[in-house]
Structure 1
Amino acid sequence: MTSAALAALSQMPQIDLRTVFRTDPVRLSKYVLSHGPIRFDWSKTHLTDAVVAGFLDLADERGFATRRDALFAGEAVNVTEGRAAEHPAERGEGHPESVARAKILHQRMRALIDAIEAEALGPVRHILHIGIGGSALGPELIVDALDGDGARYDVAIVSNVDGVALERVMDRFDPAATLIAIASKTFTTTETMLNAASAINWMIEAGVDDPYGRVVALTAAPERAMEWGVDETRVLPFSESVGGRYSLWSSIGFPAALALGWDAFESLLEGAATMDRHFRLSDPRENAPLIAAFVDQYYAQVMKCQTRAVFAYDERLALLPSYLQQLEMESNGKGVTLDGAAVTGMTAPITWGGVGTDAQHAVFQLLHQGTVLTPVEFIASREPGHALDPAHHRALLVNCFAQGAALMQGRGNDADPARAYPGGRPSTTILLDDVTPHALGALIAFYEHRTFANAVLMGINPFDQFGVELGKEIARSIGAAGAKGFDPSTTALIDIALGAA
């Protein structure tokens, strides 16, 4: 990752955030950007005109514009697997043939939803969605954020192979009124298929007629789904070029589209498409995902921050930090560059976070007074998601904005150092008009493109995930051979817990 532009950035003097608005009175106009229903505020970060110029040089050095064009053109940007990354095509932005195919598959999904709503599969009150990773995190985020009080169905999304997770859902769902959605790109994912088999057995034991007739398959391998027992009419395919953690826009979003209604799902897609166009067409100095990546890279590469904290000051976005953990760390937690050389700098920081105001009483001590510098991102909504006393939402937003101000300003106390706050700590604030399908679609697409922009600046491939494979291989070998050929610690654990010889 040797880079003249990055070396120059590392030599630039750092600004003092505690005085930044006094020394740059027009700073707010330069580092606040609005896109539709979202306001991005980077004014409390270490961005300066010189830093932005340096990162623009780095973007040119890394061929950012060319790689972005290749993404939207449907070229093989996933170089290690020789595959395109066509999640934007699911939103109508991409290669024309891919966009047309996505529309056809969306129409197929809508037709099945119409049939389910007409009770063609019998009465449905519950949706049991079984998947893992990107096949679960995205749909769960959308349903949790947007379902609200007007729930059309009771939706449960089960990902963990621990039977406790599935059993808890079985205890509260009526099997005769449950629709099972099995989400697996390959339809071979071990955890997903084991959970799916147990769900079918639950239906059989309850005397449900034709339990396989209550299953919808969401997959890029329709033949395997049909071999497993799902009728072709209830298989909802999606393109092989849509990666798992980018797949909620495809048939993987089926439980959200069914639970929220097609109009809401379509609005989600349209919101994402507006961010696609913004990312593809905006000037680099006014490009929200790219500017956000500049901030990320400054703290990772220049200030050597190893973590990034995300706090959603809105209960509707409680699952956003978990969703971003996979998106950012699975995409950019890499050790080699595009050409296979070892990465010499840092790649993705550890993404972590929580929900305000809960997090203030749990982890903010470290953020304010700890010795580990952590850039913080706050996400909030101007409009509340409830009809209670407006004092609730006012208190929520006041706390959110106060935390960013306190991190930056700090407060000295020579008489009692334990009560001193060093200040000068950076934060970004993302403010939505409201948590609507359109705004949420734009927000998630923003994070996707930000992740891609970070990858380009680091010279890595964000679209493979070979790091998850080794543990799976070893798990399969343990299942096949028991405690043979492993280190003494692993062998002892297998013997004690699994009773292996």
Structure 2
Amino acid sequence: MSITLSALLQPLAQQQPPLRELFAAEPGRAKRFSAKACGIYLDYSKNLIDEQSWQTLQQLAAQSPIKQLCQQMQAGAAINNTEQRAVWHTRLRQQNLSNLSLDGEDIGAAILACREKMAALITQLHQQQYIGYQGQPITDVVWVGIGGSLLGPQMAVEALTPYHCSPVKLHFAGNIDGAVVSDITQALNPATTLVIVASKSFGTEETKQNALALRQWFQDAGADSSAIAQHFWATSSNIQAAADFGIIEQHILPMWDWVGGRYSLWSAIGFPVALMIGNDAFAQLLNGAADMDQHFFSTPFSENLPVILALLGVWYINGFGCQAQALLPYSHYLRLLPSYVQQLDMESNGKSVDRAGHALTDATAPVIWGDAGTNGQHAYHQLLHQSQLKVPADFILPLQVSHNLSDQHQRLAAHCFAQTQALMQGKTLQEATAECLAQGLSEQAAAALAPHKVSPGNKPSNTLLLDELSPYHLGALIALYEHKVFCQGAIWELNSFDQWGVELGKQLSGPIYQALSGKTSGNFDSSTARLIAHFLESRAAQ
């Protein structure tokens, strides 16, 4: 664009009246700045926007390539331009898959076949009809993956705990730290364990090493190649590499180039979720996401939940210079959502060049962090309320819950709403002084203590209320954040679907591993060389 976002938005941001004034001037502000779709109510009234700034942001969306990229995405164009790939994760949650083809392949038939294969395996496992190499039914499944192959299913499995119906226990192995597989296998029996390796290339180091360690565990227990074939499945696009490992083709669920890892929950990567909640509930997860897709593709920007969240994010990053955003689910079951959105947002839009490879002049992608409320209130909310930093926050609360401790849920909701109110209005010195005097302090003591109780307020937040935390609503919530990230990438004119930045560390780890293994001495900077030497010295002394 001819003018940078910062140059456009910063002068406007400096003119924003305080939130207290905005609420006082407009009694209907909460209704004016709210929207609902797919069982999710969004209150964005506690944001630093007035009518002028919001209209400017709406114009920014209208002038951006959001609509154009949406049309290209739906048509199967290679909007992931650096890898020349289509971006079709939204197709994975469609119900009507007829006449759906890409580059001559019947994608609809392939998706249906994958769903049916997943469902058949899950039914076998649930009915204890999948028999291991020693004649016993499978009791445990180990899911091996990393990044998008792990974060999405692990988050969703946790989020939908009340819907678990599987007699089979599930275990996640992600980190290459050997303690992960070591801890998992200590409590399991190879004869009753099924391993599923999730890797598109079947070459991701962390996943491959964990898979090799699990295969060795089977072999140490006396399992031969036929037993390995019986107990190992994969979801991958590299059939040959999986076969070389010992996995037969009938045990491979497909992955496609047009699905990025962090957008793959809706594919066979969602197998752990379907395993734990059942095939019908997994279909509801897909339905929720599909309905959010429809809302996003067809709703005017002024009422469009993903667009609204995206514009507010751009507003704070490029208008106010905010570098972080807190994601605060007031739900124990959603405690892994911040970790999931970290990858979704930061890996997608943490870029420094545009789609054409030109350097960006505007900042992109905040640092996403957070934890379940009310835990955070006793940890980092102090910084949110009283520091000089301005950290926009999303508060997420399900209205209906699965447990019967209704009073505790009311208390949880009270804390959630109180935090957004406190961030918005703060506490003035006059209010703090009056509070101290009301508590019986002398004027001198009140004057000394009151400054420490002041909270500046004027801190922005969104509140998202879910009708309930069901498979449907979780699907809609995840898709909401997916589309938010997409919209921001479109506004910043970058490619949200590649992740070249993660490659450098992978490339450099190879030579370092060779040095740590004593195979080469390598040529490293002085710091890295000394770290390697210290590691080797420590190992030699053991």
TM-score interval for Structure 1 and Structure 2 normalised by the shorter chain: over 0.9
Alpha-carbon deviation of 1:337?
0.6
Matched, 1:128 2:120: no
Output the amino acid matched with 1:96. Answer: L
Which structure 2 residues correspond to residues 157-176 of structure 1 after superposition, within 5 A?
157-176=172-191
Distance 1:28 1:101 in 2: 46
Task: Decide which of 383, 397, 404 is 1:366's aligned counterpart.
Answer: 383
Distance 1:21 1:124 in 2: 59
Equivalent residue pairs, number: 500
The 8 Å contact of residues 102 and 238 in structure 1, kept in 2 or not, is answered as: no
Which structure 2 residues correspond to residues 46-445 of structure 1 after superposition, within 5 A?
46-92=48-94, 96-97=100-101, 98-118=107-127, 119-122=129-132, 123-148=137-162, 150-152=164-166, 153-208=168-223, 210-387=227-404, 389-414=405-430, 415=447, 416-445=450-479
The 8 Å contact of residues 161 and 333 in structure 2, kept in 1 or not, is answered as: no
- Of the structure 1 ranges 23-32 and 364-373, higher mean CA displacement relative to structure 2 is found in 23-32
- Of the structure 1 ranges 350-359 and 116-125, higher mean CA displacement relative to structure 2 is found in 116-125
Alpha-carbon deviation of 1:100?
4.0
Alpha-carbon deviation of 1:120?
3.2
3-state secondary structure, aligned to 1:382: strand
- In the alignment, which residue of structure 1 is the partner of 2:493? 459
3-state secondary structure, aligned to 2:391: coil
CA deviation vs aligned residue, 1:263-308 (integer Å, no higher than 9, x gap):
1111100100000101111111111100100100000000000000
Distance 1:7 1:403 in 2: 32
Alpha-carbon deviation of 1:215?
1.1
The 8 Å contact of residues 328 and 370 in structure 2, kept in 1 or not, is answered as: yes
Alpha-carbon deviation of 1:4?
6.5
Alpha-carbon deviation of 1:63?
1.9
Distance 1:103 1:155 in 2: 25
- In the alignment, which residue of structure 1 is the partner of 2:3? 3
Alpha-carbon deviation of 1:16?
1.1
CA deviation vs aligned residue, 1:86-142 (integer Å, no higher than 9, x gap):
100101189822344322322222223233345234412211101000000001011
Mark the CA change 1:337 to 1:4 in structure 2 (over 3 Å): closer, same or farther.
closer
Alpha-carbon deviation of 1:70?
1.0
Task: Decide which of 26, 29, 48 is 1:27's aligned counterpart.
Answer: 29
Distance 1:212 1:104 in 2: 21
- Of the structure 1 ranges 11-20 and 291-300, higher mean CA displacement relative to structure 2 is found in 11-20
Distance 2:228 2:320 in 1: 56
Alpha-carbon deviation of 1:327?
0.4
Distance 2:59 2:510 in 1: 47
Task: Decide which of 36, 39, 42 is 2:41's aligned counterpart.
Answer: 39
Matched, 1:494 2:510: no
CA deviation vs aligned residue, 1:194-249 (integer Å, no higher than 9, x gap):
00011111122233460331111011222321222111111001211100000010
Distance 2:163 2:192 in 1: 20
Distance 1:342 1:420 in 2: 42
3-state secondary structure, aligned to 1:433: strand
Alpha-carbon deviation of 1:49?
2.6
Distance 2:65 2:92 in 1: 25
Alpha-carbon deviation of 1:7?
3.5
CA deviation vs aligned residue, 1:433-458 (integer Å, no higher than 9, x gap):
11100000000000000000010011
Output the amino acid matched with 1:413. Answer: L
Mark the CA change 1:61 to 1:6 in structure 2 (over 3 Å): closer, same or farther.
farther
Structure 1 unaligned blocks of 5 or more = none
Distance 2:94 2:536 in 1: 50
The 8 Å contact of residues 130 and 138 in structure 2, kept in 1 or not, is answered as: no
Mark the CA change 1:4 to 1:140 in structure 2 (over 3 Å): closer, same or farther.
closer
Output the amino acid matched with 1:488. Answer: S
- Of the structure 1 ranges 70-79 and 4-13, higher mean CA displacement relative to structure 2 is found in 4-13
Output the amino acid matched with 1:276. Answer: D
Q: TM-score, normalised by structure 2?
A: 0.89
Mark the CA change 1:115 to 1:372 in structure 2 (over 3 Å): closer, same or farther.
same
- Of the structure 1 ranges 195-204 and 438-447, higher mean CA displacement relative to structure 2 is found in 195-204
Q: TM-score, normalised by structure 1?
A: 0.96
Distance 2:360 2:463 in 1: 30
The 8 Å contact of residues 397 and 413 in structure 2, kept in 1 or not, is answered as: yes
Mark the CA change 1:436 to 1:490 in structure 2 (over 3 Å): closer, same or farther.
same
The 8 Å contact of residues 254 and 268 in structure 2, kept in 1 or not, is answered as: yes
Alpha-carbon deviation of 1:259?
1.7
- Of the structure 1 ranges 92-101 and 395-404, higher mean CA displacement relative to structure 2 is found in 92-101
Mark the CA change 1:160 to 1:4 in structure 2 (over 3 Å): closer, same or farther.
closer
RMSD between aligned residues: 1.9
Structure 2 unaligned blocks of 5 or more = 102-106, 431-446
Mark the CA change 1:167 to 1:74 in structure 2 (over 3 Å): closer, same or farther.
same
- In the alignment, which residue of structure 1 is the partner of 2:439? none
Report percent identity of matched pairs.
Answer: 39
The 8 Å contact of residues 200 and 212 in structure 1, kept in 2 or not, is answered as: no
3-state secondary structure, aligned to 2:341: helix
Output the amino acid matched with 2:217. Answer: W
Distance 1:51 1:121 in 2: 63
Distance 1:180 1:376 in 2: 39
Distance 1:28 1:399 in 2: 19
Distance 2:17 2:230 in 1: 63
Distance 1:456 1:4 in 2: 14
Alpha-carbon deviation of 1:69?
1.1
Distance 1:30 1:137 in 2: 36
Mark the CA change 1:313 to 1:483 in structure 2 (over 3 Å): closer, same or farther.
farther
Distance 1:363 1:386 in 2: 28
